[in-house]
């Protein structure tokens, strides 16, 4: 594609869709072409605020656009994305990519046949606290992730595994980079008619083990990750945006982010436990995602979370759901 502005439309301007509109209105090389949402009153309000056009007909928006953000309820992802891709349009699909693995596989095949990009909105991959680990050699052998939230109606169109835990499955796969060897899971319904809390224990072929806990019935928001590996332990608070690293080193650390060091003996040799808090480079994760999407369309970058990654996270999430439903429902 040339360097002409990319005409991008937004399908769905609810709680999250409005933020897509806001960012596209300010991203270079992007022309916010228009929006579509069945809620005409809301559409008109959003269009007026961000100086764009309301499309009354979804097919017309798809025809006019080069690419589209799909920010609809999850059950509508597949049919909407399929329509876009069949019209040779690039798509950014908010997580999860689809409801079923068959739907995800069909979208991947369609995108390949039509030479278009699928990017999936696993926004936590771009959390500044998580990205602070990039300069370090991270090869965790045990990972513990908690994601708890107070109950709200939003997101309850799917079980908690597809609503919340799938974020952490995607993070986990990006960190471990190995195939799953075994999976155990438990969960239950508390308020809704589907899963409201779930716990999974995942073992990987490279020897890594992960424990994931997700609930949408909690008093407070918690989004924490703990990583354990040889000579390194890290704790990441995705909500507060903080990262702490405890690292065993041969020599005392004098780097600027070094906070304290304690020496000890191991196998007759002196070692140092260094405590660090890496600098967190604050940014708007959604803006970074959407800039990446536009640059991927222009051939300047690869999608941070492509369709295959979205499908892989969905596959494990569905396996977790199947185990829980088989054993407890």
Would you place residue 263 in the very low, low, confident or very high pLDDT band (cuts 50, 70, 90)? Answer: low
CA-to-CA separations, 273 to 112, 247, 261, in angstroms, rounded: 49, 6, 5
Q: What is the Cα Rg of the chain in Å? A: 21
The answer for 158, left when phi > 0, alpha when psi is -120 to 50, beta otherwise, is: beta
Is residue 254 scored above 60 in pLDDT? no
Mean predicted confidence (pLDDT) in 173-189: 96
Question: What percent of the chain is modeled with pLDDT above 90?
Answer: 82
Handedness of CA 219, 223, 229, 231 (dihedral sign): negative
For 99, the token pair is: 């409801």
CATH 3.40.50.720, applies to 6-123:
yes
Helices within the chain (DSSP H only)? 17-24, 40-50, 58-64, 77-86, 101-114, 128-131, 160, 166-176, 285-297, 307-328
Location of structure tokens 């995705």: 238
Q: Mind listing the pLDDT tens digit for each residue in 270-307? A: 777 888 898 899 999 999 999 999 999 999 999 999 99
For 188, the token pair is: 């239950």
Do the Cβ atoms of 91 and 78 come closer than 8 Å? Answer: no
The whole-number pLDDT of residue 153 equals 77
Is residue 87 scored above 70 in pLDDT? yes
Question: What percent of the chain is modeled with pLDDT above 70?
Answer: 92
Give span(s): CATH 3.30.360.10, the chain.
125-284+316-328
Q: Mind listing the pLDDT tens digit for each residue in 212-236? A: 999 999 999 999 999 999 999 999 9
Mean predicted confidence (pLDDT) in 179-198: 93
329 CB-near residues (< 8 Å, 6+ apart): 189
Is residue 329 scored above 70 in pLDDT? no
Question: 274 preceded by cis ω (within 30°)?
Answer: no
Give the strand pairing for 242-249 and 67-70.
unpaired
Would you place residue 260 in the very low, low, confident or very high pLDDT band (cuts 50, 70, 90)? Answer: low
Mean predicted confidence (pLDDT) in 90-108: 97
**48-52, 145-149, 247-251: the lowest-pLDDT one:** 247-251
Is residue 169 scored above 90 in pLDDT? yes
Stronger pLDDT, 256 or 281, i.e. the higher one: 281
Mean predicted confidence (pLDDT) in 315-329: 89
The whole-number pLDDT of residue 328 equals 64
Is residue 261 scored above 80 in pLDDT? no
Would you place residue 2 in the very low, low, confident or very high pLDDT band (cuts 50, 70, 90)? Answer: low
The whole-number pLDDT of residue 4 equals 86
CA-to-CA separations, 166 to 45, 197, 241, 274, in angstroms, rounded: 32, 13, 20, 33
CA-to-CA separations, 90 to 29, 36, 209, 259, 301, in angstroms, rounded: 15, 16, 36, 46, 14
Across the chain, what does the average pLDDT equal? 92
Is residue 247 scored above 90 in pLDDT? no
Q: Side by side, which strands form the sheet with 6-11?
A: 30-36, 6-11, 67-70, 90-94, 118-121
**108-112, 179-183, 257-261, 285-289: the lowest-pLDDT one:** 257-261
Q: How many CB atoms lie within 10 A of CB 304?
A: 19
Greatest Cα pair distance in the chain: 74
Tell which residue, 289, 292, 319, 311, has the closest CA to residue 108. Answer: 311
C-alpha torsion angle, residues 303, 308, 311, 315 (rounded to 10): -130
Is residue 325 scored above 70 in pLDDT? yes
The whole-number pLDDT of residue 81 equals 98
The whole-number pLDDT of residue 269 equals 72
Q: How many CB atoms lie within 10 A of CB 268?
A: 5
100 CB-near residues (< 8 Å, 6+ apart): 78, 318
Q: How many CB atoms lie within 10 A of CB 102?
A: 10
**Alpha carbon distance 300, 317 (integer Å):** 31
Question: 10 preceded by cis ω (within 30°)?
Answer: no
How many helices and strands (H and E) does the chain possess? Answer: 10, 14
Q: How many CB atoms lie within 10 A of CB 216?
A: 24
The answer for 96, left when phi > 0, alpha when psi is -120 to 50, beta otherwise, is: beta
Q: Mind listing the pLDDT tens digit for each residue in 72-86? A: 999 999 999 999 999
CATH of 125-284+316-328, one of 3.10.20.30, 3.30.360.10, 3.90.1300.10, 3.40.630.30: 3.30.360.10
**Alpha carbon distance 62, 58 (integer Å):** 6
Give span(s): CATH 3.40.50.720, the chain.
6-123
């Amino acid at each position: 594609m040339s360097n002409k502005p990319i005409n991008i439309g937004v399908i769905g301007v609810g709680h999250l869709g409005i933020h897509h509109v806001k960012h596209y209105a300010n991203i270079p090389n992007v022309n916010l072409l228009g929006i579509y949402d069945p809620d005409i009153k809301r559409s008109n309000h959003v269009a007026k605020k961000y100086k764009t056009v309301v499309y009354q007909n979804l097919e017309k928006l798809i025809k006019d656009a080069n690419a589209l953000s799909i920010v609809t309820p999850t059950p509508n992802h597949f049919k909407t994305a399929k329509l876009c891709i069949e019209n040779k349009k690039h798509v950014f699909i908010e997580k999860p990519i689809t409801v079923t693995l068959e739907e995800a596989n069909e979208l991947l095949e369609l995108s390949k046949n039509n030479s278009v990009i699928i990017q999936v909105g696993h926004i936590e991959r771009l959390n500044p606290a998580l990205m602070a680990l990039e300069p370090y050699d991270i090869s965790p052998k045990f990972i513990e992730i908690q994601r708890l939230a107070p109950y709200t109606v939003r997101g309850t169109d799917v079980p908690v595994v597809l609503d919340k835990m799938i974020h952490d499955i995607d993070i986990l796969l990006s960190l471990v980079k190995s195939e799953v060897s075994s999976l155990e899971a438990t969960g239950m319904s508390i308020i809704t008619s589907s899963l409201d809390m779930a716990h999974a224990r995942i073992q990987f072929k490279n020897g890594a083990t992960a424990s994931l806990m997700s609930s949408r019935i909690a008093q407070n928001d918690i989004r924490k990750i703990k990583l354990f590996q040889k000579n390194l332990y890290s704790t990441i608070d995705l909500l507060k945006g903080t990262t702490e690293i405890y690292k065993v080193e041969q020599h005392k650390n004098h780097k600027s982010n070094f906070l304290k060091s304690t020496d000890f003996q191991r196998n007759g040799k002196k070692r140092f436990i260094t405590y660090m808090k890496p600098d967190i480079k604050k940014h708007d994760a959604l803006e970074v995602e959407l800039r990446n999407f536009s640059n991927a369309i222009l051939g300047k970058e690869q999608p941070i979370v492509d369709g295959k990654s979205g499908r892989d996270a969905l596959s494990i999430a569905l396996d977790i759901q199947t185990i829980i439903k088989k054993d407890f429902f």
